Structure 1
């Protein structure tokens, strides 16, 4: 069995000082995100989305960030999925980005809200045709009998939309996570990592350093 105690590495690539951060954390995030893209990190827009039921039972999964807006972070999903049901019950959620190649992560807490239908339509229109059909075919988070059942649903919708525009299903669309806390983490030597936290207070952002 692998000795987990001895799986470790030191972080030496970069530093994060208060003098380097921007007053607005969304701008700071965009800067780090663009650096992750330039560094060709694997799936730079992959983020862990954590949600919880009304009584606080959590669950998490990886989703893809699709838009960065001044007010928050946008992703898309099936509105009947487990994550969407939990957001309806309890719209507090958390996001986490990890860019191993840069020894960085960003942790976000906030409130998730549906985006306008027109915005969901705009994104759906530019998706590949197979992805559009997948949105129709998948009863996301539901138990299905086997793979063949799913593939048959896909084939049925391919037939239904042959020669037609593939419209957006009513139960598919976007959410925006409006942050009230964003933490930027930069790995440092000897586990003395840099952690800079933005907290929303009185309409503005308070910037503080956290112990690693």
Structure 2
């Protein structure tokens, strides 16, 4: 494998586009690793909702475990794994909140049911029963009626601004191809190195 570009975001776009043609479900699915202030790690799957030269964006309940982790310790790692392509991309970087305008725009694009769900779910907290969740959904469905559902203050997005992006392609006899892009800060050019498998 050789890289098609010296820009990691362009390389990412190429691989994501190819994965969208071959992955059955959620080619934009990514494992998100966070850590608490005192270093306890956690990982879960989330969906990539946007990316550009500034970084990779997803949205969540800010009061969830991941939301609290990222507010207390604004560093994260991502892993995209596309089994159909036998590829993965690892991303590490600093985290920032998206702007209110970005969050509002994405929230408005969601289905009404998903918007109501953002109000009804106290994400990551104990739930006494499925009925309690359904009751909460009914409460907010009635509250908003046919009017526009506003974005809750506790729901927004994060952007991972990478300083390290690694591209991995499976190879015969476990002789994989690995390229890593690194930079000290965003004003720096990306440095590219090939890694041993």
Do they superpose with TM above 0.5? yes
Query: Which protein has greater RCO, CA pairs closer than 8 Å, 6+ apart?
Result: 1
CA contact (8 A) 2:61 2:67 kept: yes
Match of 2:44 among 46, 53, 61: 61
RMSD (CA atoms): 1.0
Q: Which residue of 2 aligns with 1:8?
A: none
Tell me, in whole angstroms, the C-alpha distance in 1 between the residues paired with 2:126 and 2:21: 40
Gaps (5+ residues) in structure 2?
none
Aligned to 1:206: 191
SS in 2 for 1:36: helix
Report the structure number with the largest CA radius of gyration.
1
Which residue is 1:149 aligned to?
132
In the alignment, the residues of structure 2 paired with residue 43 and residue 78 of structure 1 have an alpha-carbon distance, to the nearest angstrom, of: 20
Structure 1 residues 182 and 41: alpha-carbon distance in aligned structure 2, compared to 1, 3 A threshold:
farther
The offset of 1:41, in angstroms, is 4.2
- Cα shift readout 1:48-95 (whole Å, capped 9, x = no counterpart): 000001111100100000001111000000010100111111111100
Q: Counterparts of 1:41 and 1:192 in 2: how far apart (Å)?
A: 27
CA distance in 1, matches of 2:157, 2:77: 16
CA contact (8 A) 1:183 1:197 kept: yes
1:174 matches 2:157? yes
Indicate if the aligned counterparts of 1:41 and 1:99 stay in contact, CA closer than 8 A. Answer: no
Cα distance in structure 1, aligned partners of 2:4 and 2:164: 15
Where 1:93 maps in the other structure, the secondary structure is strand
| Residue 138 (structure 1) aligned with residue 121 (structure 2) | yes
Contact 2:23 2:82 in 1 (8 A): no
Deviating runs (4+, > 4 A) in structure 1?
Answer: none
Matched, 1:107 2:90: yes
Taking the aligned partners of 1:145 and 1:151, their CA distance within structure 2 comes to 11
Match of 1:148, SS?
helix
* Number of residue pairs the alignment of both structures matches: 195
